[in-house]
Amino acid sequence: MRIVDAVWEKRNLGVDTVEIALDEDDDVNVFEEINTLKQPYQVLKIPNGRIDISSAAQKKWVLSD
């Protein structure tokens, strides 16, 4: 997993942004580390074919109340 402080988005959007790029070999439990990030805008890039991570991300953030 690579975490990049997306300063260009701070200029464009006016909010602190972090870009999180997952690797092919990252475990589905990687979200515990992502939960510690405090930036209000977070971009998550998931590798093609990692349906397990995509599904887990949807359940955690998109489908939650």
Answer yes or no: pTM beyond 0.85: no
Would you state the pLDDT for residue 3? 94
Measure the CA–CA gap between 4 and 56, rounded to whole angstroms: 22
Instruction: Render pLDDT for 8-52 as a digit per residue (tens, 0 to 9).
Output: 998 999 999 999 999 999 988 888 888 888 899 999 999 999 999
User: 15, 41 in Cβ contact below 8 A?
Assistant: yes
Confidence of residue 63 (pLDDT cuts 50, 70, 90): low
| All structural domains of the chain with their residue ranges | 2-62
